Structures are given as structure tokens and as C-alpha cells.
Structure 1
Amino acid sequence: MGSLNPFCLSGKFGFTEAHKSMRISINRLKKYIALTQSPEEIAALLTQSGLEVEGVEEFVSIPGGLEGIVIGEVLTCIKHPDADKLSLTTVDIGADEPSQIVCGAPNVEAGQKVLVATVGATLYPTEGDAFTIKKAKIRGQASEGMICAEDELGIGTSHAGIMVLDTDLPNGTPASQIIPVTHDHILEIGLTPNRADAASHLGVARDLKALLGKELCIDSSPEVKKEAEGPKISVNVENSTDCPRYAGVTITDLKVGPSPQWLQDFLRSLDLEPINNVVDITNYILHDLGQPLHAFDAAQISDGKVIVKKLPKDSKFVTLDEKERKLSGEELMICDSKGGMCIAGIFGGIGSGVTENTTSIFLESAYFSPDVIRKGAQYHGLKTDASFRFERGTDPNMPVYALKQAVKLLQEVAGGKVASDIVDIYPQPVADFEIEVEYGHINRLIGKKIAPSEVKSILESLDIQVQNETEQGFKAIVKPYRVDVTREADIIEEILRIYGFQQVALSENLRTDYLAEHPAKDLNKLQYRLSEILSGQGYFEIITNSLTKPSYAEKSGFLDASQNVEIYNKLSEDLGVMRQTLLFSGLEVLAHNINRRQTDVKVFEFGTVYQKGESGYEEGKRLAIFHTGNRSAESWLEEAKPFGFADVYSTVERILEKLGIQIGDVSMIESQPFTYGLRLMLGQKELGIIGLVDDKMLKLAEVRQEVWFAELNWDLICKKASGLKRYQEISKFPEVRRDLSLVIDKTVNYDQVKSVALKAGGKLLQRIGVFDVYQGDKIESGKKAYALSFYLQDQENTLTDKVIDKTMSKLIQAFQNEVGAVIRS
């Protein structure tokens, strides 16, 4: 199947790998249903009904939407006095005075109508980074704007000269009035496996119809009549079990070429690259109606025979990616008289696809058994947009309607003529599902009594007929495109998701049954396991006395002495109160070791702290970590390296990562007990503190060297911990590194930058590194520069340049918007 077959894996062949989420165009939805709600309101509505919208993205067909670009007229054009290759022009852009613009294009002349980027406009060129037009001096001459070429506006690739317009529109008219710009909003829907019916714009529109109580506007099925002579194609379905329905039609006199702009814009909004008009129409129908189509070059079909069958095991078949594959014998194949042309519903072959020389096609529209497609795709490791839909179950009543819509479009945009009647082989029509439903079961499972009239209205809005209705129940007739609605419980689920989960009030006394076991956490085992991990990293565990000196609270300045829990029959003043923190008992251990020449120490302690509370005495479990001295001893290989903030922070990070806990907000501490440090939050609760212990605290415990200290709320950690066993398969796909240099305010800390990056980078961003920090006279006062490395990896696919660039663009935009970063080139 040649290089432009729509059953291929990559853009250059005309087909893409299956998307992990559905991209749905709001503009296209509005063709089906009258929508007055905002994209965000539509997203919320769909999410509440079970189609989870993971994001709403604005789409503009030309980056920047040509904002600030206007039609201008070149009034004068002379040579630049100080540059042979530049021209000095005055341009009327509809302002009070003409603008002087220095232009380097060889074709600029007086009298031309041109496109001018005004001062303040941002250009998004076809290649290179975006830039903003500013007033400038070029070789001593003022320049107030820019006369633009095609590639500078991002609407083409030509840089041969400026664009010269043939228009009577007045000067100053926005460029968008002469170059159409499509504005749209795209919904990213995380489609669950059961909702195969929603893998299209029509499917999503059906749900909105039920949710909003509005009618759908669906194009009537166009009439298809033979209007020309073309190749004679016969169809023989030998395996009707795996192919219950097979339809097709021959189209001739085609002119394969670029698609019209509206079609290209629609595909690009869905992250699909336009290929040509024939391939683009098949992709359009797939995403619009959910029906995959396949176009064969009619001239390449041997003997004009299309045969649907299985080929023997170990038969060799060369797919479009030029790989020779051995068949399992279980795949359904589309063949001609010589052999296989396509793995049905999955992937095309090397010899019979559409090319730029194709003039006649046989257009296939079929319904395949989900099982045979799922097995074939799994066996060959091929996941395509077509197999994604076929293996979940498509609509058996859609093939001929989709075929007619495609024919209509091919006639409009490719000049095609119908050269045959529509072939429709459908020996055993797929029956509607008939499901008996009782009102009592509806009310019991939903937990609320819903009027029968409302139940009927909801079901009919979902194209589910209600028959044989009695006081006890009814028979529901479900069309086969709803592959997930086959039982009474499924009908009740449909009623509830349209009725609204939020309309079912919660009972004061809730109970539920669990199918799975949820054993209680063994906190002792959790502590023991974590102790093993820390010991394995070179830490020693300490156990200290819960009784301590009252003077620590009285003199430290950060503890409230009035909250001390005093001992009535104290043995001594040094052991007169219960400790409020593990800090001082740990410092005493460090002092003991330092005084005995053990100056490099890493220790941890699980201990209890006590204080008076509003309702009596309170106690809580804490985990303390101490670092002092050097992390690596002096040797002939390297100098001694003292412990730093990163050492204790990285230990805390590893602990929390092992327990499945994500740090929330992070704020600076510039008060006791630290010289400086961080406060970690988990929601509204304090998770812990980390920092360099202040000299005043050290003096109280008689410690004479730097100490890094962390104290974590072990009670809170135990509540939030998801367990220590967290495994993930190592990705087979390569990791990609990209670097950025950010100039930010000194007040912005790394954790803020990291938080923004993780949010914007999504699942692809695996980790972030800092390889340089600069503060000096080469950047503005009050600023600092971070050089960051970003490591991207997809667990299921090899990353493409397009995906990488899109992710990095999101990161750059997030840094600019949320932390005021300037990106250094």
C-alpha cells in the first residue's frame, strides 16, 4: 500500500498511533448541537456524566492569531543610506502618520499592499523562536514595524520576499480579514475502555444532547449514484464471523493533492498532520463519526478482487513500515487474488495504498469483530486510531452512512466521481440489545426514587427505546453502538449519569461492602522497614530520653515554655519536663560523639514529643534526621566535603517518595531554630521542617560545629503513606533531555520552579535537574539564573520532536506566567 495509505502508524504515511485520549473540537460539536455554554462548562458537564475531560486547550490555526498584523501600503521606497541591501520605506498602516520601516526584502517597492507587524506585535515564524516587534534603529535609521514574509508570519515556508497583496481593503485592516484564522477550543477526554461509543465527535454530541435536552443536527444520508466508469471491483467476504459487515464503493477521476484549509485546520486541532485530500477525509470521518475507513488504490488491486479472509500461519506480509511480518493465522486480512493487501482494521500493506499518482480508489467501510482486531493488534504490537476503535466495538449501523459522507467530501475536495454502486455485504444484521428493567431495582441501586416519566425521558434522550412498560418495569431496546449497555445494571448506570450523581443526597448513615481486602497498615512494620532503608544509606539509629531540660524551651526562643509537660516527682532539674521536639535530645548525642573525636555523624530517631493542648495533654510521633561534619572524608583522591542542605533534603525526599507522599507547599524559615530552612506542608498541615540549626540552639546543647536537621510529622506520614511496595516497569523507550536557562527573581525558590514544571510537564516529565545557578553583574540586580535540565520519557511510545516541542512550549509558558521567568537563549 503506497506511501500515503491511511492505515499506517506515522504521519508521513497518513495515519497516526492511537491517541491515549480523545481530542474533541468545540467548533465541530457546535455543528451537531446548539451550544451556548463555555468550553469549561461543557467540560464540567461531560466529566460529571462519566466522560472525564482532562484539559481544555485553545487552538489557533495560525500561532498568535495574526494579532497586531495589519494591511499596509508602501508609500515610498528608497535605498538605505548606510546599507546596500536594505530599503528605507514609509508605510501607511491606517494611523495618523505613515510609519518609517527599514526592510531587507529584495522585492519591496512603492505602491505595494503588504502585511505589516506593528510595534508590540509578536511573530511566530515557521522556524525559530517567537519574537516581539519593537521600535529600533537599524544602521542609524528608525524602524517602526516590520513588513512581513510568509514564513515570518508562520503561514508558509517562503522567505523569497515580502508578501504582496492584491486587495482593496483599507490600510490598517487586520490581517485576519484577508487570511482566515480558525479559533477553537479542544477538549482532552480520557476515554475509559467501556465508552467506545464516545470515541468520536458524534458520540460526545449524543451525550450532550441527553445532558442538555437539545436535539442533534445530523446530516441526512446523501444519495450516491454511479456517475462514471471506473475499475470493476468485486467483493467476497469468506469470513463473515469476524467481518459481519463489509461495504465499499469505487471512486474515479480523483485529483490527489492538499486538502482545503478548513480540513487541515480541523486535523491539526486534533494533533493530526494533514497528508492529502483522500487520506485527510478518511481521518476526518474517523474522528467525526467514529468509523474507520480504508482507501485502496484501485489500479493496484489484482484482478479487481477484494477478498476478506484469514491467511495461513507464518504467511509473510510486508506492512507499510517496510517490515516483513509473519502472520499468526488468526488475523483477518483484506486480500486480492495475489495475497494480502491489509491487516484488516489495523495496518496496511506496502503495495496497494493511495499515492500522489492515484486516480481511482476502492473505499472500504466495515464492521469487524472486536476480538479479532484486539488479538491481531496485540500479536503484532500495533496500536492505531482504527484498531483503537475496532477492538472496543464500532457501530455496525454506521459503515454505509460514513461511506456516503466520505463520498460527498471526495466529490467536493478531490473532484471524485462515483464509479460503482455501494457494495454492502451484511448477511446477519447485528440485533439491538433487549434488556428487562425493574423500577424497584433502579431506585434501590441509585438510592433515590426517580419518577418513571423521568426515567423514560432520560433513556429516550440516549436513543434507548422503552417498550412494554408496566408499573413494575419495562423492556429497554439499546442500539448496538452502545457495546457497554447489555445488562440491567448498565441501564441504571446510564440513567444515573444523566440524572446526575450530585442529585443523589448522601445518607447520614453510610455503609458499603468491599470486594477487595483492605488490611490495616502495620505501623511498626512501616517504621522498621524505613529504619532499614535509612541504615542502608549509612545512618545510625539513636534512641534518646523523652525527659529533657526545661531550659531548652525557656532559652531557645522557638518553643513555648508554658506548653511544657512537667514531671511532678522529677529526679533532677535536667530531666524535669517532657520534650516538645527531638532537636535537643539529638544534639546532645551529637555533642557526645563530637567530644570523642567522632565529628562526621548521620543519625535518625523515631521518638515521641509532648505538650499541653487546649483539651489536655497531647503527644505525637516524630522522625528526626541529623547531619554534621563531612559526608566524605579527606583522601588523596579528593578533599573533604561537608554536609549541606541538599544531603538532608534529598533524604527526606527519598523517604516521602518511598511512601508515596507528594510534598505540597514549601515556604522559607528564617527564624529559630534555623539560620535558614524550609517548612514542608501537606495540604493545610505541617509535614515537617528542614534547615541549618541556628548557633544559639547549638550553644544550648554545647555543639561546636554545623548541624543540619529535619523533623517530620510521623503521625501524618503514617496516615498518608500508600505503602513501601511501589513498582513500575522500566520503559523500553528512550529518555530525552532538554535544557532551559531561566532568569527569575531571587525571591523565587527552586521548589516553586519545580512545582510549576511538574504541573506543566505532565506525565512525560520524569525528573528535573539544576546544573548551574548564576547571580552576578551579567543579569539584572535582584535576579538569578537557573540552568535546568528536563528529562522527558513516554512509557508507551518513542517521543517525537513534535511532542517534545509541545511539552517544552508548555513549560516555557508556565514559567513565564507563574514565576515571571525570562528564558535566556
Structure 2
Amino acid sequence: MKISLDWLRTLIPTDKPAVELGQLLTGSGLEVEGIEELESIPGGLRGVVLGTVLTCERHPDADKLSLTTVDVGDATPRQIVCGAPNVAAGQRVVVALEGATLYPAAGEPFKIKKSKIRGAASEGMICAEDEIGLGQSHAGIMVLETELPNGTPAAEYFGLDSDSVYEIGLTPNRADAASHYGVARELRALLRQPCHLPDISKFHAPASAERNITVEIQDPEASPRYAGLLLENVQVGPSPEWLQRRLRSIGLSPINNVVDVTNFVLHELGQPLHAFDADQITGNKIIVKRAQEGEKFTTLDGTERTLKAADLVIADANGAPMALAGVFGGKTSGVSDATTRVFLESAYFQPAAVRKSSQVHQLKTDASFRFERGTDPHMVPVALKRAALLLQEVAGATVAAGIVDEYPAPISHTPVRLRLPRVERLVGQFIAPERIRQILTDLDILIAEESQDAAGHAEWILSVPPHKVDVTREADVIEEILRIYGYNHVALRPHNSASFLAKFPNPDPEVLRQNTARLLSGQGFSEIITNSLTNSLYFEKEGEKDETLVPVLNFNSADLNVMRPTLLHSGLEIIRYNVNRRQRDLKLYEFGKTYHREAEGKYTERNKLVIYLSGNTAAETWQQKSDKTTFHQLAAAVQQVLASFGFAQPASQPVQHPYLAGGLTLLAQNQPVAHLGAVSPAILKRLDVNQPVWYAELDWDFLMRKYKNTLTAKELAKFPEVRRDLSVVVDRTVTFDQLRQIAQRTEKKLLQSVNVFDVYEGENLGAGKKSYSVSFTLQDPTQTLTDQAIDGVMQRLIGQFEKQAGALIRK
């Protein structure tokens, strides 16, 4: 949400700098994500001042240049060389001082420097209007008529506007601050300074209602309040500059004066309005009702939509929809250049009704953003009067009849009990009752009753206004008090404590996650965080939907309509984004949840750790060429993670995974703990990733359950280790992991490690055969190994390889 500081100051006068106000708002819960400086002229004419030409002589070495001295308010006049034909002594001029950056109407910006022109020093520049971006003329310098003193900033003379625009990350619970007036109310409490609504005292409506439009609410639960105002003699056209400037400052494009006024009031007061062409309202009657199932309706964007029975619509006397209530207007009833009579709508709609229609029809508007979070029903007539006065000013409108205001069941304030000792307990610090009273008053929360409990502690019954939609209980009120009191004002006690005892898991899951993240980051991997929502089309097979997916009922985008069943696709989107920007060498990892539908109404969440490798191992240099990443590099990273959890040498089997084209499944305690391999080319093609990707998926829940703290220390071996090698010929289907397991079962005492350092397949081995060159490291911690002991171990290994794997040992 964008908030203009210049606009804000019309509601709450304050001279505090933009940054300081931004810090106050952030501290109170309205997080200012950025401040953008807007200037009507680039650079704001900083370093440009008014001056007087004291002397003007022809340059001794150039016929078309003049040598001038100019008073710019300093103790010493400045010498400036000027090429304008109209420069003369006694003129009031615009002078760009040394160091100023000018943004001309055409061309690139340039900086004024002290220089020599044809041998004469020049300490600035006397400006023409195009040189400072004020116009297109370059016929000569600007000559002013002013009594302002020399040295006055040119921006002040020309009345240039500058503005600071806040980008506020508005959380869903802060509907009360979704406008300039809402933010002004927040600052009123923070600054202890009054704010005010725009003046609507001059609004006047004739008593006669003969030409008025009547309103009927058929669903008062969905539309508790509906008001309208008829305007005549409306002249639709462009808005004045001040109104266009206000809208542009917050990123809106002006359309016409009628629409612009409704947008202006929306962002000023937080109350959405809609303008109907009154001549298009059949029967001069508005009906607020539910739509008929399957009814067709064309919205302002020209799209024909099929309405649902749950949709709340604004219809005419015949029941034909003219607008989707709180969301979007209809094409036929909208304001056009030919419109002369306008019916302004201002209403309070039940948030759930607007939210459902907005989601079903995938329509997100500024109006629906506010209605579905909750607006202020008391602002309905105020906004109408404000808009009417503005339309009288900018469109020549006249009020044809009084306001029609249907409000069958007025919405009352919410009563909330506040116990003052409870404030201290939840805040963690005593706040004086008078300060609490002051904060509540500044937040429009009234104290309806005051009493004491049996222990003599103060209790207040509060009256919370409807615009505070998130304040419904005592804890909410205390949060409001703390926001304004200031989190930074709550002192930390020397000994912090909690009022409850909790069982802390051992090991701590967060510590294990951090340790694993450090392990992978230390190997050059970068952590990513992706969206838990994804596109259901990724998982459709031949047009059939995957019934195990968890759909999102109120999704904002068709691309994010299911909870992800795997982290792979969102990670591939990150890889695609980087590859398309020529960042091809990627080492990534992510911790995240996957979501699955087991049966009707039964869902599960699973925690995963995934790792990606793609591109080259490193950038190419003159010392070495860069090789492609390989499966074994991925496997090494996975095995290091498993080893840190106590599974140093997991068993393996060929992978069975729907998204992998070959690879391994690693087993721990006979349970699959990791799948790793090459991502299927079909998946890569579907996500438009044009380079191979290695992918590993680890069962993080299993690792957390089975974690073993295997950190032990032992004395360094005193006796040397011995290495022996064998060349083992086996069937092509026999894996090295099978040979390793045979060796470990055969010799448990002396065998320290088994490694393969070469694999060979060739015609001379025979069809379907391959040869592993395997090294064995032997060591006895109690004595030096003898040749006899070593040979005995090797003979037993050879025998078991021949017996269990059908191996042939090459001599």
C-alpha cells in the first residue's frame, strides 16, 4: 500500500521528516518497506538559486560569450561566462551553482563544475528554462520578476512540489489503516497530535426526493448498510492537475474526473465508492441481492462472467446485475463521456461475501482489498459527502436529492473487558493507568465503565469502534496499547523468565537444521526458500487431475492453486530463473514441507531437505577447465549430511522415483531416507529448464526421529594401516555397494574402509561383465599387521566375493 506524505499532511499537520515518521509507523506495526522520493522536476533544482547580474561585458576572446558577475547571496559575487544573447546587467536570473546536477528537457543530466571558458574562469551557469527541465525554450536565459532575495532556492520560487511516498506492507488484520486517514489516525496516537477528516460542512442536499433513486436491500446480512447519492449536470472530462498528481503519487493512472474522485476518496478515507450512470438504472431503483446461479454478467473489463448463487450483486428494478458488490462494476452501467447523471454508491458489505466473490471470479481490486478485510460502516455517508463536494468542484455536478441511506440494523461498538493488572502481565512492564487511558482515547476506544474486582484491581469496560476489526478481546486491546506505548520502551529484566514450563526437545530440531545448513553452505551450496503453493498443471497426467493433491479453495492465482506435493518444481522454477539470466552454475538446497491428501478430509505434511546441482563445478580458469557437475558430487553431499546424523555408510538400491531418470535410493535402518539422481528430461522440458539437473530428496522427518549423536573421541592409532587392491569382475547388475556390504560382513575387525577407484567395461571381459578396481584399508589398533594376517583377510574376502557375487578375481 502506498501512502503519500504530502497527502497525509493534509489530514495531520506534522513537520517531522519522512524517515522519522516511517520509523514510528514501523514500530507500531505498519511496516514501512521503503520510501520513494517523488519530484515534479528531476533533481528538484537542488543547487539552483536566484541571483542578480551585477555586471555584463563582452568576453575578450569570444564574440558570442559574455563575462558576468552575479550576486547569488554569498559574500563575494561569482564570475560566470554566459552564452545567452539576452543576458544583461540588472537582471534577476536562475543560477546553477558549482556541484549542482541539472536534468535538461532533452539530453542527459550533467553536473556543473568550476571551469575555464576561453581562458576566463566560470563559477556556475545562468540557466535557460530547458536547461533545468522547466520548458523547451532555449532562446535565452530566464529573466525573472521577483523581490525574493538572492540565494533563494529556485524550487521555492517556482513552487516545485516534492513528496515522499511510503510503501507499507499492510498485514491483513490492519484494515483500519488501509487509507491515508487510517495512517493519520495511527500517527495521531503516536505523535499525540490531532488529525481531522476533510471538511464536509459545506455539503447541502435539497429536501425534495422526487428525482431520487430508491434502494432495496434483500440480503441485509451480506449488505448491512447501503447508501447512495444522485448527482446531475455532471461534465465528464479530465481531472485537474492537483487531483491527477495525488493519484500518480500512489501509482494510479488518472481516468476521468468522476472515476478519479472515487479513487481519491477510497485512498483518502478507506471507503470504496462506485459511480453508476444514473440513466442506465432501469426503474430508478437499486436492489442489493444474491445473483441467480449461472446468470451472465459483463464486467467493466469487457469479460463475460458466469455468476454464482452466492455472489452479491447490485441490480436494477428488473433484477439485472449492474455490479458485483464490492468487487467490480458492470460494463453497461459504468460512467462514460456521455454521462450527465451519476448515482454514487457507498456501502458496507460483509467481508466474507466480498472475499468469496473476489476469489471465485479471480478479481482483485482496491475496493475488494478493503471490503474483504473490513471497512468502517460509519464512514459510508462521510465518503459520499466528500465525493459530492469534489465532483461539484471538478465536474460541475449538482446534488439532485438527499442521501439515500438504508441501514436496517446499525452496527454497534464491541464491548471488551480490560483488567489493568493483565496489561502489566502481558506487556511485562507497568504502564500507568493515565497513559493507558490516553492511548485508548487516541485510538478511538472509549471507556464505557470503570469498576474494581474483589481484590481491588481496576477493570474497565471498553467500547471498541467498528473500524478496529481486529480488536475483539482483552489481548487485542493490550496489543493496541503496547503498539502505541512502543516495544522499544519495554525494558529487559536482568533475569527473564516464563510463566510456564515447556518440554524442550533433545536434540533441538532448529539446531540440527542450522548445523545441516552450515554443512551444505560450507560446500558452496546456497539456501533457497520457495512458495508452498504451486501449479496443479505440473501434476496432471493426460488431462487427469492427481487426486492426492491438496487444493487451495481461495487461491489468488491459477498458477498457485495447490499445496506442493514435492519441492522439486518450485526449485526448478528458481533454476530456470537463474539460467535465463546466465547464472548457470548452481548449487542449491532447501528445507520445506510437502502436502498430501490421503483420503477425504485427511491430509498430511512431511518435512523434506532437497539438494540441487546443475551446470559446471566451477568457473573456467587458465589453470583448469570446468567440468560438468556429476551424480557422484551430489551423492557425496548427501552422504555427508547422512553421516552427520549418524548414518555414515547407508545401503543403496536403484531409485524408484516418478521425477528421476536413474539414480539411487539410500537406506538407513532398512528405510528409504534419500532419493537422488538426474531429473527426468520430461520434467525439465515441462518447466522449460534447458540444462541437466541433479536432484536429491531427503526425508527430514525420518532423520529427526532417528538422529544419533555419534560424536566420539578416540586415541590416534599407533600402528600403520595397510592398503590392498583387488580387480573384481562381476555381472553388470552387481553394484559396488553390494561388494562393500559383502566385505564389511566378512571382516568386521580389521577392515577400516572400502573404496572403488576404477570401473571398466570392455569386450575382453565378456558380455554383461564389468570390472571394479577396489581398495581395502586394513588396520589393527593393538599391533602391526603381519603379511600372514593380511593375506588371510584378503583370501576370505576373495572367497566371499566369488561365493556371494559370482566374482572373478583378476590377477
Q: TM-score range by the shorter chain?
A: 0.5 to 0.7
Asked if the contact 2:51–2:70 (Cα under 8 Å) also holds between the matched residues in 1, the reply is yes
Asked if the contact 1:231–1:360 (Cα under 8 Å) also holds between the matched residues in 2, the reply is no
Q: 1:527 to 1:369 in 2, by over 3 A?
A: closer
Deviations 1:582-632 (A, max 9, x none): xxxxxxxxxxxxxxxxxxxxxxxxxxxxxxxxxxxxxxxxxxxxxxxx979
Q: 1:419 to 1:535 in 2, by over 3 A?
A: closer
Once the two structures are superposed, the pairs formed by residues 343-358 of structure 1 within 5 Å of their partners are: 343-358=324-339
2 CA distance for matches of 1:226 and 1:490?
A: 41
Q: 1:476 aligns with which of 453, 462, 470?
A: 462
Please state whether the residue corresponding to 1:50 is helix, strand or coil. Answer: coil
Once the two structures are superposed, the pairs formed by residues 229-240 of structure 1 within 5 Å of their partners are: 232-240=212-220
Please state whether the residue corresponding to 2:23 is helix, strand or coil. Answer: helix
2 CA distance for matches of 1:140 and 1:278?
A: 60
1 CA distance for matches of 2:165 and 2:443?
A: 24
Query: How well do the aligned residues superpose, as a CA RMSD in angstroms?
Result: 5.3
Residue in 1 aligned with 2:673? none
Q: 1:274 to 1:153 in 2, by over 3 A?
A: farther
1 CA distance for matches of 2:688 and 2:626?
A: 33
Once the two structures are superposed, the pairs formed by residues 610-629 of structure 1 within 5 Å of their partners are: none
1 CA distance for matches of 2:329 and 2:105?
A: 32
Q: 1:419 aligns with which of 381, 400, 408?
A: 400
Once the two structures are superposed, the pairs formed by residues 741-756 of structure 1 within 5 Å of their partners are: none
Q: 1:329 aligns with which of 309, 313, 316?
A: 309
Asked if the contact 1:632–1:641 (Cα under 8 Å) also holds between the matched residues in 2, the reply is no
Asked if the contact 1:228–1:418 (Cα under 8 Å) also holds between the matched residues in 2, the reply is no
Unaligned runs of 5+ in 1: 1-21, 538-629, 660-723, 725-729, 736-825
Residue in 2 aligned with 1:577? none
Higher deviation after alignment, 372-381 or 445-454: 445-454
Unaligned runs of 5+ in 2: 454-458, 526-615, 642-675, 677-683, 690-811
Residue in 1 aligned with 2:742? none
Report the Cα offset of residue 205 of structure 1.
Answer: 2.0
2 CA distance for matches of 1:470 and 1:394?
A: 32
Q: Which has the higher contact order (CA 8 A, sep 6+)?
A: 1
Q: 2:7 aligns with which of 25, 28, 32?
A: 28
1 CA distance for matches of 2:270 and 2:341?
A: 25
The answer to whether residue 628 in structure 2 is matched with residue 642 in structure 1 is: no
Which structure's CA Rg is the greater one?
2
Deviations 1:231-253 (A, max 9, x none): 64333322222111111112222
Q: 1:101 to 1:642 in 2, by over 3 A?
A: same
Once the two structures are superposed, the pairs formed by residues 707-746 of structure 1 within 5 Å of their partners are: none
Residue in 2 aligned with 1:494? 480
Asked if the contact 2:179–2:270 (Cα under 8 Å) also holds between the matched residues in 1, the reply is yes
2 CA distance for matches of 1:356 and 1:168?
A: 43
Report the Cα offset of residue 291 of structure 1.
Answer: 0.9
Q: 1:68 to 1:451 in 2, by over 3 A?
A: closer
Asked if the contact 1:93–1:99 (Cα under 8 Å) also holds between the matched residues in 2, the reply is yes
Deviations 1:691-744 (A, max 9, x none): xxxxxxxxxxxxxxxxxxxxxxxxxxxxxxxxx9xxxxx9x9999xxxxxxxxx
The answer to whether residue 382 in structure 2 is matched with residue 401 in structure 1 is: yes
Please state whether the residue corresponding to 1:397 is helix, strand or coil. Answer: helix
Residue in 1 aligned with 2:44? 65
The answer to whether residue 417 in structure 2 is matched with residue 436 in structure 1 is: yes
Q: 2:271 aligns with which of 264, 267, 291?
A: 291
Report the Cα offset of residue 644 of structure 1.
Answer: 6.9
Please state whether the residue corresponding to 2:292 is helix, strand or coil. Answer: coil
Deviations 1:787-817 (A, max 9, x none): xxxxxxxxxxxxxxxxxxxxxxxxxxxxxxx
Report the Cα offset of residue 418 of structure 1.
Answer: 1.2
2 CA distance for matches of 1:330 and 1:165?
A: 67
Q: 1:211 aligns with which of 155, 165, 190?
A: 190
Q: 1:475 to 1:26 in 2, by over 3 A?
A: same
Aligned-residue sequence identity (percent) comes to 45
Asked if the contact 2:206–2:402 (Cα under 8 Å) also holds between the matched residues in 1, the reply is no
TM-score when normalising by structure 1: 0.54
Asked if the contact 1:61–1:265 (Cα under 8 Å) also holds between the matched residues in 2, the reply is no
Residue in 2 aligned with 1:506? 492
Report the Cα offset of residue 116 of structure 1.
Answer: 7.7
Report the Cα offset of residue 512 of structure 1.
Answer: 6.7
Report the Cα offset of residue 494 of structure 1.
Answer: 1.7
Once the two structures are superposed, the pairs formed by residues 279-318 of structure 1 within 5 Å of their partners are: 279-318=259-298
Report the Cα offset of residue 486 of structure 1.
Answer: 0.8
Q: 1:264 aligns with which of 223, 237, 244?
A: 244
1 CA distance for matches of 2:69 and 2:395?
A: 41
Asked if the contact 1:114–1:162 (Cα under 8 Å) also holds between the matched residues in 2, the reply is no
The answer to whether residue 366 in structure 2 is matched with residue 385 in structure 1 is: yes
Once the two structures are superposed, the pairs formed by residues 727-806 of structure 1 within 5 Å of their partners are: none
Asked if the contact 2:239–2:254 (Cα under 8 Å) also holds between the matched residues in 1, the reply is yes
Asked if the contact 1:223–1:404 (Cα under 8 Å) also holds between the matched residues in 2, the reply is no
Q: 1:93 to 1:408 in 2, by over 3 A?
A: farther
2 CA distance for matches of 1:253 and 1:169?
A: 44
Deviations 1:567-594 (A, max 9, x none): xxxxxxxxxxxxxxxxxxxxxxxxxxxx
1 CA distance for matches of 2:138 and 2:282?
A: 46
Asked if the contact 1:227–1:417 (Cα under 8 Å) also holds between the matched residues in 2, the reply is no
Q: 1:222 aligns with which of 201, 207, 220?
A: 201
1 CA distance for matches of 2:390 and 2:687?
A: 39
Q: 1:125 to 1:238 in 2, by over 3 A?
A: farther
2 CA distance for matches of 1:33 and 1:647?
A: 61
Residue in 2 aligned with 1:41? 20
1 CA distance for matches of 2:255 and 2:394?
A: 14
Q: 1:355 to 1:520 in 2, by over 3 A?
A: same
Q: 2:232 aligns with which of 232, 242, 252?
A: 252
2 CA distance for matches of 1:632 and 1:32?
A: 58
Q: 1:289 to 1:647 in 2, by over 3 A?
A: same
Once the two structures are superposed, the pairs formed by residues 126-205 of structure 1 within 5 Å of their partners are: 129-132=108-111, 148=128, 175-177=154-156, 179-205=158-184
Report the Cα offset of residue 31 of structure 1.
Answer: 3.2
One-letter amino acid matched to 1:40: V
Deviations 1:144-186 (A, max 9, x none): 8586567x75567x78989988956789775535532122333
The answer to whether residue 318 in structure 2 is matched with residue 365 in structure 1 is: no
Report the Cα offset of residue 433 of structure 1.
Answer: 0.3
Q: 1:71 to 1:454 in 2, by over 3 A?
A: closer
1 CA distance for matches of 2:126 and 2:266?
A: 42
Deviations 1:769-799 (A, max 9, x none): xxxxxxxxxxxxxxxxxxxxxxxxxxxxxxx
2 CA distance for matches of 1:359 and 1:734?
A: 53
2 CA distance for matches of 1:301 and 1:90?
A: 72
One-letter amino acid matched to 1:205: A
Once the two structures are superposed, the pairs formed by residues 674-689 of structure 1 within 5 Å of their partners are: none
Please state whether the residue corresponding to 2:43 is helix, strand or coil. Answer: helix
Q: 1:416 to 1:131 in 2, by over 3 A?
A: farther
Higher deviation after alignment, 178-187 or 403-412: 178-187
Q: 1:288 to 1:176 in 2, by over 3 A?
A: same
